[in-house]
Structure 1
Amino acid sequence: MTDSPALPAAVASELSAVVFDWAGTMIDFGSRAPVEVFRAVFESSGVPVTEAQARGPMGAAKRDHIAALLALDDVKTRWADKQGSEPTDAEIDRLYKEFLPLQKEVLGRHCEPIPGVVELLQALSEAGVPIGSTTGYNRDLMSVVLPLAKAAGVAPNAAVCSDDVPAGRPRPWMLLEALKRMDAAPIWRAVKVDDTPMGVEAARNAGCWGVGLSASGNALGVSLAEWNKMPAAERTAALTPIEATFRDAGAHYVIPTAADLPPVLTEIASRLAAGERP
């Protein structure tokens, strides 16, 4: 473990909280766990989906994610050819029921913290900044993640799941619930960090600062080993369109991974001190 990054006093005095996503943000570099299972579930029904298709709705609650995949013209057509009719709500429910135990099994292999996250969380904690989290995983799935992540040094003050609120991202309810549980206010002094544009949209809908992560998450979708081997020019070419997508979603900042967050938090604190709001 490296030393915790130093955070200026202004970060603690100006920020009400920092709220992180989980897969692709704090753990599971490349957000590999959900993709693996979505593809397996559709394969088992005889309608395989590509990795790009599986990643498309990432950030949504998992049942909503399955529904979004089934709504794709290509998938809907192939489903009707294979199953004899277009997918129904009952089949969405069936796929979701198949998804849950398989995802639970796979999650245990994908709880390793993204480099720099443990040190960042330690620095925020030492500075007295509340640390929240939101996820498209439901509470049952997070029962696998939370103890493994805590043992590895990732233990936010609040963890809100997709089934804790009426609707997941891009609605702001998970984020607002996390802030409520931590008694963190005002909202416009909070920062949301997410590896999906949908998560950034949730930040904007809540009225707080939104930071997108371009390298560690769903959009790039590579493992840590693949990322470490990627030449600088290839990284730049791969991240440029991802960064544009985050900015189109309203991100105030876009950085490669959460390890790059301290300077952003310092700048946001400075902007807040000057009277600026998101």
Structure 2
Amino acid sequence: MIELAVFDMAGTTVDDHGIVYIALKDAVEETGATVATADLQEWMGADKISAITALMRLGNQKPTEQRVAAAFVRFREILAERYAATPPVALPGVEEAMAILRGRGIKVALTTGFDDAVAYPLLESLRWAVGAGTGTTVDAVVTTSDVVAGRPAPFMIHRAMEKTGVHNVRKVLAAGDTVVDVQAGRNAGGISVGVLTGKLSAKELAAHSHDYILAGVVDIPELAETQSA
């Protein structure tokens, strides 16, 4: 049985109504870049500084440090405005699935391409408490503020292991709805799961090395790896 389940946030455990996609696209296009849908999907899930830098370059704009920083500020502004108008909600069945896993002794951590300033207010709006024991929703949260590089690097998953005291990467399952989520799960050395609650199809996710493609996090408690021995 696995010891730790690591889940992405927006699109995997949280329905943010596609607002992250919109905010990222709008912020980059304000620089004068043209953002292709395929490029946007490829960079979703990555830390947003890296995503903005890549998308600006792909859209024929020079991503200087100053311009990227300004676009990141606009991304956060657009995100905050849209979240205020249309608050994110938990995806159906996710809270129950996480509770089932924790009830089996499996720790649950969230990772995200957001930094602390975006991620923690989002968690507060969902009323998801973080910490070990009863009365909490997840055991740990790792943001891009905690690591030197975001996905597809495995660092956020490994940091989640540190925070939860899990030592064996083969006892870790990581799930997400983007290409970089699946890649990070594979790079981390554990079980890599793609879920279809985001923008990508099963075919698009399956093009990358993985262990499972599932409809959503809600299906993870049914996997043999999450069952009691």
TM-score when scaled to structure 1?
Answer: 0.73
Q: Which residue of 2 aligns with 1:16?
A: 3
Q: Say if 2:128 and 2:138, in contact at 8 Å, map to a contact too.
A: no
Q: Say if 1:16 and 1:187, in contact at 8 Å, map to a contact too.
A: no
Q: Say if 1:191 and 1:210, in contact at 8 Å, map to a contact too.
A: yes
Instruction: State the shift of 1:269 in Å.
Output: 5.1
Equivalent residue in structure 1 for 2:198, among 197, 213, 217: 217
Instruction: State the shift of 1:164 in Å.
Output: 0.8
Q: Kindly indicate whether residue 117 of structure 2 is the aligned counterpart of residue 158 of structure 1.
A: no
Q: Which residue of 1 aligns with 2:132?
A: none
Equivalent residue in structure 2 for 1:71, among 36, 57, 66: 57
Map Cα deviations across residues 185-234 of structure 1 (whole Å, 9 max, x no partner).
Answer: 311011001111211111111110011012x1132xxxxxxxxxxxxxxx
AA aligned opposite 2:170: W
Instruction: State the shift of 1:154 in Å.
Output: 8.4
Equivalent residue in structure 2 for 1:173, among 155, 160, 165: 155
Equivalent residue in structure 2 for 1:106, among 74, 82, 85: 82
Q: Say if 2:28 and 2:52, in contact at 8 Å, map to a contact too.
A: no
Q: Which residue of 1 aligns with 2:122?
A: 145
Equivalent residue in structure 2 for 1:58, among 17, 29, 44: 44
AA aligned opposite 1:158: A
Q: Say if 2:40 and 2:55, in contact at 8 Å, map to a contact too.
A: yes
Which one has a larger percent strand, Structure 1 or Structure 2?
2
Q: Structure 2 CA distance, aligned partners of 1:269 and 1:45?
A: 45
Instruction: State the shift of 1:52 in Å.
Output: 4.3
Which structure's CA Rg is the greater one?
1
TM-score when scaled to structure 2?
Answer: 0.87
Q: Which residue of 2 aligns with 1:36?
A: 22
Q: Structure 1 CA distance, aligned partners of 2:226 and 2:30?
A: 49
Q: Say if 2:3 and 2:172, in contact at 8 Å, map to a contact too.
A: yes
Q: Structure 2 CA distance, aligned partners of 1:23 and 1:257?
A: 12
CA gap 1:148/1:205 in 2 versus in 1, 3 angstroms = same
AA aligned opposite 2:180: M
Q: Which residue of 2 aligns with 1:256?
A: 215
Q: Structure 2 CA distance, aligned partners of 1:104 and 1:218?
A: 21
Gaps of 5+ in 2: 130-134
CA gap 1:135/1:158 in 2 versus in 1, 3 angstroms = same
Instruction: State the shift of 1:151 in Å.
Output: 5.2
Gaps of 5+ in 1: 1-13, 80-85, 220-241, 274-278
Instruction: State the shift of 1:94 in Å.
Output: 1.6
CA gap 1:262/1:151 in 2 versus in 1, 3 angstroms = closer
Q: Say if 2:101 and 2:221, in contact at 8 Å, map to a contact too.
A: no
Q: Structure 2 CA distance, aligned partners of 1:248 and 1:154?
A: 36
CA gap 1:169/1:87 in 2 versus in 1, 3 angstroms = closer
Q: Kindly indicate whether residue 50 of structure 2 is the aligned counterpart of residue 25 of structure 1.
A: no
CA gap 1:259/1:99 in 2 versus in 1, 3 angstroms = same
Report the identity percentage: 27
Q: Structure 2 CA distance, aligned partners of 1:29 and 1:102?
A: 13
Instruction: State the shift of 1:257 in Å.
Output: 1.3
Map Cα deviations across residues 222-261 of structure 1 (whole Å, 9 max, x no partner).
Answer: xxxxxxxxxxxxxxxxxxxx32332332110001111222
Three-state SS of the structure 1 residue aligned to 2:173 is strand
- What does residue range 78-93 of structure 1 map to in structure 2 within 5 Å? 79=61, 86-93=62-69
The Cα RMSD (Å) is 2.4
Instruction: State the shift of 1:263 in Å.
Output: 2.1
